[in-house]
Copies of this chain bind each other. A is one copy, B any other.
Amino acid sequence: MRKLGIPEIEDIARGAALLGAGGGGDPYLGKLVAIGAINECGPVTLLDPEEVPDDALIVPFAMMGAPTVLCEKIIGGSEYKALFDIVSSHDGRKIFATMPMEAGGLNSMFPIAAAARLGLPMVDCDGMGRAFPELQMVTFTIGGISASPMGLADEKGNTVIFDTITNKWTEELARAVTMSCGGSVAVTLYNMTGKQLKEYGVKGIVTRSERLGAAMRTVKNVTDKTPEEAFLEFTEGFKLFKGKIIDVLRETRGAFNFGKVVVEGIGECKGHTAYIEFQNENLAAVVDGNIVATTPDLIALVDTETFNPVPTDALKYGKRVMIVGLKCFEMWRCKEGLDLVGPRYFGLDTDYIPIEERSKGGLR
């Protein structure tokens, strides 16, 4: 058990944005929301999963929708309470704590704001270890845990509770309502017990985000390595490409950001071209026509100067980026995991090959 205050927030936001793998939204915006809530309501208690009683009720919190919309249609202070009130009255039990569902610039931060405003602790755990675009894409689905009853609230005061037969149906129905509400809403989902959380959650993800964020902040202070070497070492990242963004195709459809970013090589990559396809998150990185990484492994773009992650909604022409791959949480590599979030689910015509195998032989 420890307290999360404003210094921690900054690092968590930065680190979580890297784990957002292009999705999860703008960490700057996320940070402002969390800091605002902590300034008003005080620091948040972060619980280690082992500190959660087996029978405690945990209600995870997230924003659902397209990050491009979230930027303009941010959550206010009142949705949290409306949402947790209906969920608590629907369930009938007392809520012990909240937790994030994914790592990412926004969805690592909103649960902190919710916890602060509701006076609840937050558990150091999530259901992805990264960000994914659809709500059934969590380790808890592999564990047979239902997303239902799922609560949803918009900034206007509308609330909805879904009780569905599969987590894919929750996604389907909640996505339809999200679009009708303007493309972004606050949700609670995968209400679970402490026992379930310990069995299937990605434990320690907040602390991992914070450490990554702290290291990224200090990357230029490392004396015996170049900042890039230092960055790759502490993130355990695979350097996939380096270049200048020369094209961004983007479409906001079905409350998702779909698109493709094209990167022209610079430095040691000069003369080569890479592109990344994304659906909120980066799905596949392709260099000179060869796939070098796919979902569920993490593909992140970072600024070559600051090493700050560049989410898909902030891609723009001319930006210099390094494309980095990170190993995903081990549970995603089983058959059930790949059925949920593997390349074929997203319509990519390739089997999943772990990034450490695809990267043998180093940077192409």
- Chain A residues in contact with chain B, CB under 8 A? 86, 90, 156-165, 169, 172-173, 175-177, 179-181
Specify which chain B residues have a CB less than 8 angstroms from the CB of A176 in the assembled complex: 176-177, 179-180
Decide if B158 touches A161 in the complex (CB within 8 Å).
no
Nearest-neighbor residue (CB-CB) of A86 within chain B:
B163
Nearest-neighbor residue (CB-CB) of A161 within chain B:
B161
A/B interface sample: 9 pairs, CB < 8 A: A90-B161, A158-B162, A159-B162, A160-B161, A160-B162, A161-B161, A173-B181, A176-B176, A177-B177
Specify which chain B residues have a CB less than 8 angstroms from the CB of A181 in the assembled complex: 173
Q: Tell me how far the C-beta of A222 lies from the nearest C-beta in chain B, rounded to whole angstroms.
A: 51
5 other A-B residue contacts (CB within 8 Å) besides A158-B169, A177-B177: A157-B164, A158-B162, A158-B163, A172-B180, A176-B177
Specify which chain B residues have a CB less than 8 angstroms from the CB of A165 in the assembled complex: 156-158
Specify which chain B residues have a CB less than 8 angstroms from the CB of A161 in the assembled complex: 90, 160-161
- Minimum-distance CB pairs A-B, first 9: A176-B176, A176-B180, A158-B164, A161-B161, A157-B165, A159-B163, A160-B162, A173-B177, A172-B180
Bound Cα distance A175, B181 (Å): 12
Q: Which of A90, A160, A161, A172 has the most CB of B within 10 A?
A: A160
Bound Cα distance A326, B158 (Å): 37
Given contacts A176-B179, A177-B173, A177-B177, are A160 and B158 in contact (CB under 8 A)? no
Nearest-neighbor residue (CB-CB) of A175 within chain B:
B180
Bound Cα distance A163, B89 (Å): 13
Q: Tell me how far the C-beta of A178 lies from the nearest C-beta in chain B, rounded to whole angstroms.
A: 9
Bound Cα distance A89, B117 (Å): 28
Specify which chain B residues have a CB less than 8 angstroms from the CB of A86 in the assembled complex: 163
Specify which chain B residues have a CB less than 8 angstroms from the CB of A172 in the assembled complex: 180
Partner of A173, one of B157, B160, B169, B175: B160
Bound Cα distance A163, B177 (Å): 12
Q: Tell me how far the C-beta of A1 lies from the nearest C-beta in chain B, rounded to whole angstroms.
A: 35
Specify which chain B residues have a CB less than 8 angstroms from the CB of A159 in the assembled complex: 162-164
Decide if B157 touches A160 in the complex (CB within 8 Å).
no
Decide if B177 touches A158 in the complex (CB within 8 Å).
no
Nearest-neighbor residue (CB-CB) of A172 within chain B:
B180
Bound Cα distance A12, B179 (Å): 39
Specify which chain B residues have a CB less than 8 angstroms from the CB of A162 in the assembled complex: 158-160
Specify which chain B residues have a CB less than 8 angstroms from the CB of A175 in the assembled complex: 180
Nearest-neighbor residue (CB-CB) of A178 within chain B:
B176
